[in-house]
């Protein structure tokens, strides 16, 4: 009986309403001040995924969440959109992190990816992109690499192929410099690949809005 009582108390503790995951979103929009490798940011709390990061201060890595293409942060009214994983989920996860290497898109393509593709010249891909096919056993099996020119330089998009294991494939816009020793990347559903230019401009606009000048 004592064991059952103790088990019940422990279960009640873990399921209590105020216990939240470190990545539980918040609908609060209070402004959070933080510094990353010398770059000052002021970000509404409902864009910051981690409750720890929402305390502000000096940070080396944070993840932000927003909806494409409204660029709104989390709200309880749109919780279903933020927590879902449908193939057309509009959630974008934007990662900022300290990055001493700080390679731009062109350098990252040449140093990291081209040694693993079949044709370093690539081929004409969809949506104005150049497509690179990875060699067999390259370590990138199940992914396609796309490159596109934007106003700020080369954008690299590493995209999962849809399969039985990946019914809701993602694309990763690979790390690019944001400031000295600071880079950014973002992840979105492959269903939105056709709108990569709009997405890239929106991400950069969002970052610009959060940077303290």
Output the tens digit of pLDDT for each of the chain's 213 residues. 444 444 444 334 333 444 445 678 899 999 999 999 999 999 999 999 999 999 999 999 999 999 999 999 999 999 999 999 999 999 999 999 999 888 999 999 999 999 999 999 999 999 999 999 999 999 998 999 999 999 889 999 999 999 988 899 999 999 999 999 999 999 999 999 999 999 999 999 999 999 986
d(CA 125, CA 94): 25
Q: Measured in Å, how far apart are the chain's first and last C-alpha atoms?
A: 63
Identify whether the C-beta of residue 19 lies closer than 8 Å to the C-beta of residue 63: no
Q: Are strands 31-36 and 57-58 parallel, antiparallel or unpaired?
A: parallel
3-state secondary structure of 164: coil
d(CA 11, CA 32): 34
Identify whether the C-beta of residue 81 lies closer than 8 Å to the C-beta of residue 72: no
d(CA 39, CA 44): 16
Cβ neighbourhood burial of 137 (10 Å; 0-12, 13-18, 19+): exposed
């Amino acid at each position: 009986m004592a064991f059952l009582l103790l088990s019940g108390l422990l279960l009640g503790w873990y399921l209590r309403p105020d216990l939240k995951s470190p990545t539980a979103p918040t609908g609060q929009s209070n402004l959070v001040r933080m510094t990353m490798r010398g770059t000052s940011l002021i970000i509404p709390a409902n864009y910051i995924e981690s409750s720890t990061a929402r305390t502000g201060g000096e940070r080396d890595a944070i993840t932000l969440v927003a909806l494409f293409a409204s660029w709104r942060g989390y709200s309880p009214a749109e919780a279903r959109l933020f927590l879902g994983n449908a193939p057309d989920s509009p959630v974008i996860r934007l990662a900022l992190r300290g990055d001493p290497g700080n390679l731009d898109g062109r350098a990252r393509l040449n140093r990291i990816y081209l040694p693993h593709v079949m044709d370093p010249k690539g081929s004409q891909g969809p949506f104005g992109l150049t497509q690179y096919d990875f060699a067999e056993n390259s370590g990138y099996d199940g992914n396609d690499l796309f490159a596109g020119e934007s106003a700020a330089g080369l954008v690299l998009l590493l995209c999962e192929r849809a399969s039985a294991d990946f019914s809701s494939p993602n694309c990763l816009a690979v790390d690019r410099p944001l400031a000295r020793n600071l880079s950014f990347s973002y992840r979105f559903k492959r269903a939105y690949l056709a709108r990569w230019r709009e997405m890239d401009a929106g991400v950069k606009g969002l970052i610009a809005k959060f940077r303290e000048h």
